[in-house]
């Protein structure tokens, strides 16, 4: 497969609060920092990124569906929807695009309800607990799969 021209970066609920929400867990980097990192990482390989963040599940699902038209893969941090949303998982499965799942914190060192991911079985890449820098690794690994 040829390297895609575009990736979709999806950030779920509450990730708009990065930098101020529980910085001892999530760090001081902002959502704008995350987006800039993924854009720069993808640009290393000539790939564009479309970014979406929403606190509304349907908005994320619509963006995932739209990605079928012009994206080669999806980098996603579903936030709390990771542990609750079969619908989000089904949207990812339904578009048949490679997926990289990212979590800033190590969800396995946190509350037990965070240990299950509905996204895990549809993702080809899993980067967990590496902070915001994990987005760059997830992007590179996804692009490796697509190349």
Tell whether 45 is covered by a domain: yes
Tell me the torsion sign for CA atoms 145, 86, 63, 134. negative
Nearest to 15 by CA among 69, 81, 87: 81
- State the Cα–Cα distance between residues 1 and 144, nearest whole angstrom: 10
Is the pLDDT assigned to residue 2 strictly greater than 60? Answer: no
Do the Cβ atoms of 138 and 99 come closer than 8 Å?
no
Give the β-pairing of 99-103 and 73-77.
parallel
Whether 126 is a known active-site residue: answer: no
Whether 108 is a known active-site residue: answer: no
Do the Cβ atoms of 120 and 22 come closer than 8 Å?
no
Tell whether 47 is covered by a domain: yes
Task: For residue range 88-118, list pLDDT tens digits in order.
Answer: 999 999 999 999 999 998 877 777 766 789 9
We report the CATH number of the domain holding residue 19 as 3.40.50.9100
Tell whether 119 is covered by a domain: yes
pLDDT for res 1: 45
77 is in an annotated binding site: yes
pLDDT for res 8: 98
Task: For residue range 25-71, list pLDDT tens digits in order.
Answer: 888 999 999 999 999 999 999 999 999 999 999 999 999 999 999 99
Please state the domain count of the chain: 1
Tell whether 1 is covered by a domain: no
Is the pLDDT assigned to residue 5 strictly greater than 80? Answer: yes
- Average confidence score pLDDT of the chain: 93
Catalytic residue among 65, 103, 108, 115: 103
Q: Backbone phi, then psi, for 82, in 5-degree steps?
A: -50, -40
Tell whether 75 is covered by a domain: yes
CB proximity list for 124: less than 8 A, separation 6 or greater: 98, 99, 100, 142, 145
Tell whether 139 is covered by a domain: yes
Tell whether 14 is covered by a domain: yes
105 is in an annotated binding site: yes
Q: Could you tell me the residue range of the domain that residue 38 belongs to?
A: 6-146
Task: For residue range 110-143, list pLDDT tens digits in order.
Answer: 777 667 899 999 999 999 999 999 999 999 999 9
pLDDT for res 12: 97
90 is in an annotated binding site: yes
Tell whether 26 is covered by a domain: yes
């Amino acid at each position: 497969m040829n390297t895609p021209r575009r990736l979709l970066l999806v950030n779920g609920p509450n990730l708009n609060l990065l930098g101020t929400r529980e910085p001892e867990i999530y760090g001081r980097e902002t959502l704008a920092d995350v987006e800039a990192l993924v854009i720069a990482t993808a640009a290393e390989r000539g790939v564009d990124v479309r970014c979406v963040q929403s606190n509304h599940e349907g908005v994320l699902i619509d963006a995932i569906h739209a990605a079928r038209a012009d994206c080669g893969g999806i980098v996603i941090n579903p936030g709390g929807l990771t542990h609750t949303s079969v619908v989000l998982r089904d949207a990812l499965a339904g578009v048949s695009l490679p997926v990289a799942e990212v979590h800033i914190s190590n969800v396995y060192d946190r509350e037990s309800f965070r240990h299950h991911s509905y996204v895990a079985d549809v993702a080809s890449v899993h980067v967990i607990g590496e902070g915001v820098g994990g987005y760059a690794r997830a992007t590179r690994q996804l692009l490796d799969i697509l190349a």
